[in-house]
Amino acid sequence: MISLLLNKYVLGAALVALLVAGAWFAWWHHGNVRYTAGIAAQQAADAKSLVAYTQAKDAQLAASQESYRAELDSLKLHPIALGPVRLREYVPSASGQDPVTCGAASSTPATGAVPGVPDGSHPVRPAANPPDISGMLESYAEAADRLSAQLRALQTAVK
């Protein structure tokens, strides 16, 4: 009789445990499905946001590239035309003064001091066979114009 009673309680307890485990699994599975669906929804929203951000940045980059091209085209409309540019050299005066310090307030600069700039009172003469450096200056000016146009375009792209 005790074994019959014991079997009845054991079977009841096993049935209750099975029902509790089934309820817990259903609760866990429902939460897991909702969690997975939430992650998928967040990933879809992130992808949509990333596509919109990328399209906005692409449009901004295209606009900055167009402004860069337009600025370069406007620079080509107004080219820099330099005449011949020749180097000149200072001629020392008859008194033997150094043309760099001539006209400066002190005759000897302090140690480590930057020497004075000539005040223009010395005659200048062309160098012995000076090269024409206007082409080099024009190419430097064009390179500087291209670089500044590029930097302006990059600044608009970064904003």
Q: Tell me the per-residue pLDDT of 129-159, one tens digit each, with 9 for 90 and over.
A: 777 788 888 888 888 988 988 888 888 777 6
Average pLDDT over the chain, rounded to whole?
Answer: 77
Which 8-state DSSP code applies to residue 86?
A: B
Tally of structural domains, the chain: 1
Q: Residue 100: CB partners within 8 Å, gap ≥ 6? A: 90, 115, 116, 117, 118
CA distance 146 to 71: 9
Please tell me the predicted confidence (pLDDT) of residue 97: 54
Within a domain: residue 107?
Answer: no
Within a domain: residue 22?
Answer: yes
Within a domain: residue 132?
Answer: yes
CA distance 27 to 107: 97
**Whole-structure pTM over 0.75, yes or no?**
no
20-75 pLDDT tens trace? 999 999 988 888 888 888 888 999 999 999 999 999 989 988 888 888 888 888 88
Specify whether the CB–CB gap between 85 and 134 falls below 8 A. Answer: yes
For the chain, the C-alpha Rg in angstroms (whole number) is 43
89-112 pLDDT tens trace? 655 555 555 555 544 444 555 555
Within a domain: residue 131?
Answer: yes
CA distance 59 to 152: 16
CA distance 127 to 132: 11
Within a domain: residue 78?
Answer: yes
Which 8-state DSSP code applies to residue 109?
A: P
Cβ-based neighbour number of residue 122 at 10 Å = 16
Within a domain: residue 138?
Answer: yes
Please tell me the predicted confidence (pLDDT) of residue 89: 64
Please tell me the predicted confidence (pLDDT) of residue 21: 94
Model confidence band, residue 19 (pLDDT cutoffs 50, 70, 90) = very high
Specify whether the CB–CB gap between 146 and 72 falls below 8 A. Answer: yes
Within a domain: residue 134?
Answer: yes
Mean pLDDT along residues 112-138: 67
Instruction: Please give the residue range of the domain that contains residue 151.
Output: 2-91+122-158
